[in-house]
């Protein structure tokens, strides 16, 4: 496999996920842990899309002991959201519904402003608003969920400074791949994201916080873990996923960098568009001709439509096994597999879009206000760390 590089701001090449674990020093999901979780288990976790962790076992232990637990997952508003971006939020909702977790959702408009020269403040602010409609559509419980927006929530600055004091420039350079040409905002920003990861503890006292994200966000978890105990907090836990594959490659990341539409399924795509994109672009593990396919069979493990079904959209274990066997044996054709996957994805999106229009009808700002920190909570953040 060719060389690859994964940072929070760039993913190049075809990712070798096992190699990446060694590079990052995270662990594979421990055996047996899935059985301990409430049913139905979050599909991408059960099927190995979430494939690595840091202290997930301790998080599950704390849940079993009925201790307080939280989940943090966020969004950097760099454009409209695609299917891959929304997955960690559906995961967070599962942790809230099934395990009673408090959920904190940060919006890092500052980050996305800092990391691209050409980006304007007004752009990231607009995308923050647009993305929030999708995030609200996921359906979090307002009693147990808070949303923070970096440019607006200036009370985050003080804890960010407290955290920043404990991270050296050489750590930032090594962990995030920063260079002398990186602007200084970019050097500081990781301290802000570390505060996101700590925030449930600032609000509710020290307890275990799990961060479900794609593996590109792991560097933030690593530095947060180094600092947590130094500031009297519990070490952050992480649950790391692969990337949702790009339409065009089972090894690539669904991403719009480079602006290629054909790699991506947008959250706003309608049934016809999903079908057209899957039929036309989804990388196939089938043989080049029907005759050859019937004779030699297909390769589900590299077929993007199959992977979408396996990781996200086919809940039924028996059905996914049947599809796998039938495709591998050559009985099921690529066209049939694609049509089935397109149907499943479109119906997931239809439900998401229905909830999205409800948010729009209710008024997104009003809906958002249910999730913002109240005055008492803001004070708690500002009171934190007096002796640090
Ligand atoms: P962002 O906005 O780049 O991505 C949002 C979330 O989606 C994940 N992700 C993907 N997952 C699967 N397949 C893909 N192709 C794919 N592309 C992106 C990302 O890993 C992320 O979980 N810095 C963050 C935003 C942030 C945050 C946080 C995340 C701010 N504070 C605290 C977690 C916790 C970012 O830019 O994500």
Q: Check pocket membership of 238 for ligand 1, CB cut-off 6 A.
A: no
Strands (E), 101-165: 102-107, 145-149
- The CATH number assigned to the domain with range 260-362 reads 1.10.240.10
Cβ atoms 111, 193 nearer than 8 A? yes
Nearest atom of ligand 1 to the alpha carbon of 193? 31
Instruction: State the angle between helix axes of 334-362 and 317-329 in degrees (0 to 180), rounded to the nearest 10.
Output: 140
Distance of CA 343 to the CA centre of its chain: 23
Kindly state if the Cβ of 201 falls inside 6 Å of ligand 1. no
Going from the C-alpha of 145 to that of each of 54, 66, 219, 327, 373, the distances in angstroms are: 23, 19, 24, 42, 10
Contacts for 306-310: CB closer than 8 Å, 24+ residues apart: 306/337, 306/341, 307/245, 307/250, 308/244, 308/245, 308/282, 308/341, 308/344, 308/345, 309/340, 309/341, 309/344, 310/47
237-241/50-54 β-pairing? antiparallel
Q: The whole model's pTM is what?
A: 0.97
SS3 58: helix
CB distance 72 to ligand 1 below 6 Å: yes
Q: Which of 196, 217, 307 to mutate to test the pocket of ligand 1 (most atoms within 8 A of CB)?
A: 217
Structure tokens at 122: 């007004």
Strand stretches in the chain, DSSP E: 5-7, 10-12, 27-28, 50-54, 69-72, 102-107, 145-149, 208-214, 237-241, 245-246, 249-253
Beta bridge partners of 75: 107
Ligand 1 centre distance from Cα of residue 34 (Å): 24
CA dist 210 and 237 (Å) reads 5
Q: Is 153 helix (H, G, I), strand (E, B) or coil?
A: coil
pLDDT tens digit at each of 388 positions of the chain: 468 888 888 888 888 899 988 888 999 999 999 999 999 999 999 999 999 999 999 999 999 999 999 999 999 999 999 999 999 999 999 999 999 999 999 999 999 999 999 999 999 999 999 999 999 999 999 999 999 999 999 999 999 999 999 999 999 999 998 988 999 999 999 999 999 999 999 999 999 999 999 999 999 999 999 999 999 999 999 999 999 999 998 888 888 776 677 789 999 999 999 999 999 999 999 999 999 999 999 999 999 999 999 999 999 999 999 999 999 999 999 999 999 999 999 999 999 999 999 999 999 999 999 999 999 999 999 999 999 9
Ligand 1 pocket mutation, candidates 12, 150, 213, 220, criterion most atoms within 8 A of CB:
213
Q: For the chain, give every domain's residue range.
A: 5-246, 260-362
Q: How far is the CA of 269 from the centre of ligand 1 (A)?
A: 20
Cα distances (angstroms) measured from residue 226 to each of 62, 126, 304: 21, 34, 37
So what CATH class is 5-246? alpha beta
């Amino acid at each position: 496999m060719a060389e690859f590089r994964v940072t929070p701001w760039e993913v190049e090449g075809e990712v070798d996920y096992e190699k990446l674990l060694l590079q990052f020093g995270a662990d594979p999901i421990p055996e047996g842990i899935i059985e301990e979780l409430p049913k139905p288990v979050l599909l991408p976790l059960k099927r190995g899309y979430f494939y690595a962790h840091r202290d997930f076992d301790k998080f599950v232990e704390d849940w079993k002991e009925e201790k307080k637990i939280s989940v943090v997952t966020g969004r950097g508003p760099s454009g409209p959201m695609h299917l891959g971006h929304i997955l960690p939020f559906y995961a967070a909702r599962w942790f809230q519904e099934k395990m009673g977790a408090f959920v904190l959702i940060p919006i890092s408009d500052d980050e996305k402003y800092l990391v691209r020269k050409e980006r304007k403040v007004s752009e990231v602010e607009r995308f923050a608003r647009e993305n929030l409609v999708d995030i609200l559509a996921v359906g979090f419980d307002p009693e147990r969920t808070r949303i923070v927006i970096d440019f607006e929530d200036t009370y985050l600055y003080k804890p960010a400074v407290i955290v920043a004091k404990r991270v050296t420039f050489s750590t930032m350079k090594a962990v995030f791949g920063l260079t002398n040409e990186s602007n200084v905002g970019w050097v500081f920003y990781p301290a802000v994201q570390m505060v996101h990861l700590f925030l449930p503890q600032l609000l509710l006292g020290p307890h275990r916080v799990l961060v479900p994200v794609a593996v590109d966000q792991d560097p933030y978890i690593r530095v947060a873990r180094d600092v947590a105990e130094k500031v009297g907090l519990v070490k952050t836990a992480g649950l790391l996923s692969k990337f949702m594959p790009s339409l065009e490659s089972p090894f690539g990341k669904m991403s719009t960098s480079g602006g290629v539409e054909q790699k991506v399924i947008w959250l706003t795509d309608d049934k016809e568009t999903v079908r057209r994109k899957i039929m036309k672009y989804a990388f196939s593990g089938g043989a080049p001709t029907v005759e050859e396919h019937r004779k030699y069979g297909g390769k589900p493990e590299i077929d993007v439509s199959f992977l979408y079904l396996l990781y996200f959209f086919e809940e039924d274990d028996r059905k996914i096994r049947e599809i796998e066997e039938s495709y591998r044996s050559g009985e099921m054709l690529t066209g049939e597999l694609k049509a089935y996957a397109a149907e499943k994805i479109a119906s997931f999106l239809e439900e998401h879009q229905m909830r999205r229009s409800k948010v729009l009808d209710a008024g997104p700002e009003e809906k958002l206000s249910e999730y913002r920190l109240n005055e008492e909570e803001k004070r708690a953040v500002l009171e934190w760390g007096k002796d640090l």
